Amino acid sequence: MKKIIFTVTAILFLASFSVFGMYGYDGDDWISFLTDGNQFRARMDQLGFVLGNDTIKGTFGLRADTGYMGSILGTGTIGGESIALNPTVSAGIGYTSDIFSIGVGYNFTYIDKYLQIHTPVLMINALDNNLKLAVPIEIAITDNAQSLGPNGESASINNKIKFTGIGFNNIELRYSTGIDAFNEIRFYASYRSTSHESSFNGSTIKYVSEALDLQLRLYFLNTTVGNVGINPFIKVQYSTALKGSRLGDFLMTESYKYPQGSAVSGEHDGNYGIDANTKQSDNFSANPYKVTIAPTLALSASSDIVSLYFEPSLGYTIYGDAPLKRYNRKQTITHSLYWGAYAEMYVTPVQDLEWYFEMDVNGNVTGKDNAKANVNLAPVYFETTTGITWYLPSFGNN
């Protein structure tokens, strides 16, 4: 009885907190929630708490998923908005045990006053947390909204639209085998389907788009050489557009802004949907695709105060565009090599307080934001985040 009363009290305590959380809109953001301990985290793109006991935990808050780092409320630019909510708002609650754990989360992402994205998330852990699954479902629906210009501003013509988007952004499955020779498997799957109905002067056109992305990571030979931990892995990723020619954009923002191509995108690899009354083969000579194979060496080392993690990688990508059929052109195939150098550093002067620094430098030859390799891109793309984590005591069960 005492345990039940404490659990109910914990739920009410969590619900009363007006604090910020740190989980975003995709499955990779939520995959560790059920195993995260109590903590307060404040980074460039996150601010929040995880609170609970050994049975129940919760979180609530914000994460900068939409690219507005450091800004919670800002001046809106769509349709004359005075204020816009920039980050993704997240909340979640979970039940945990050694045998089976389950959690549910919710994300709210504000695009503009016409469109918001709702993302419920289901999380399941089993086999003493060796099996983890996170399934997010994105839902974005708007009606009677103004169409948008190439930079997100309102178009000069008041063109009413209906937009519907359904997707799964990084469904993730992890399985730890417990065998050093082949210690972990990770599988990611993303899918996006959108329809964009535009009406003007009594004429209605409906565009649709559909994209799929699959990724497999195989971790093997987990061992220690001297004082350095080594865990190589191979990443294999496949992306394609089933309708239209747009790879990725699983947040659906770009599909909302660019339903049927634009001068921004060009002929071959831009933001194209297709007329809903036509077939994919009526519009394009071939479906676009991208295949990447990237061997990666994961290195780790630690002392009493500092822990380091490195991921040097070298990858190969083959990219096939989506040539418009009216140009009577065959599919163009692009081959490229890329390099990456990812690093994490944890500084822990005392046991419960940690400073975190993350850096990612890469050759960017596969194309940032799903653009074609090395087209209008900086030769080196640098990104980083930093911040603190304060590990808090558990509420306990007794």
- Are 170 and 187 in contact by the 8 Å Cβ rule? The answer is no
Q: 10 Å Cβ neighbour count for 243?
A: 23
Instruction: Kindly state the tokens that stand for 123.
Output: 């999380």
Structure tokens at 135: 């399934």
Rounded-to-integer distance, Cα 55 and Cα 394, Å: 10
Q: In the prediction, which pLDDT does 96 show?
A: 95
Distance CA 276, CA 52 (A): 48
In the numeric block, which tokens belong to residue 172?
């993730």
> pLDDT, tens digit, for every residue of 342-362?
999 999 999 999 999 998 887
Confidence band of 62 (pLDDT split at 50, 70, 90): confident
**Alpha-carbon gap, residue 159 to 162, rounded angstroms:** 10
Strand partners, 50: 39, 59
pLDDT band at 270 (very low <50, low <70, confident <90, very high): very low
Using DSSP, how many helices (H) and how many strands (E) does the chain show? 4, 23
Split at pLDDT 50, 70, 90, the class of 376 is: low
Average pLDDT over residues 153-179: 80
Per-residue pLDDT tens digits for 10-55: 333 333 333 344 687 777 889 999 999 999 999 888 888 999 998 9
| pLDDT of 178 over the 80 cut | yes
User: Does residue 191 contact residue 215 with C-beta atoms inside 8 Å?
Assistant: no
**Residue whose pair of structure tokens reads 């990219």 in the numeric block:** 319
The yes-or-no verdict on residue 311 having pLDDT over 50 is yes
pLDDT of residue 292 exceeding 50, the answer is: yes
Between CA 191 and CA 250, with CA 27 as vertex, the angle to 5 degrees is: 35
Residue 7, pLDDT > 70, answer no
CA dist 246 and 243 (Å) reads 8
How would residue 229 be classed by pLDDT, with cut points 50, 70 and 90? very high
pLDDT classification of 325: cutoffs 50, 70, 90: confident
Mapped onto helix, strand or coil, the DSSP state of residue 351 is coil
Residue 273 Cα distances to 193, 247, 277, 289, angstroms: 10, 11, 12, 15
Contact partners, residue 129, CB within 8 Å, separation at least 6: 34, 35, 98, 101
pLDDT, tens digit, for every residue of 125-158? 999 999 999 999 999 988 765 555 444 455 444 5
Residues 6+ apart with CB under 8 A from 59: 21, 22, 23, 33, 48, 49, 50, 51, 90, 91, 92, 93, 105
The 10s digit of each residue's pLDDT in 195-210 is 888 777 677 888 899 9
* pLDDT of the residue at 74: 74
Strands 223-225 and 228-230: antiparallel
Using 50, 70 and 90 to split pLDDT, how confident is the model at 66?
low
The residue assigned the tokens 């649709």 is 208
What is the C-alpha to C-alpha distance for residues 61 and 187, in angstroms, rounded to an integer? Answer: 27
Sign of CA dihedral 66, 28, 136, 248: positive
The pLDDT of 385-395, averaged and rounded, is: 89
- Look-up: residue for tokens 């979180």? 59
Kindly state the tokens that stand for 362.
């890469």
Could you tell me the pTM of the whole model? 0.84
Average pLDDT taken over every residue of the chain: 81
Share of the chain above pLDDT 90, in %: 46
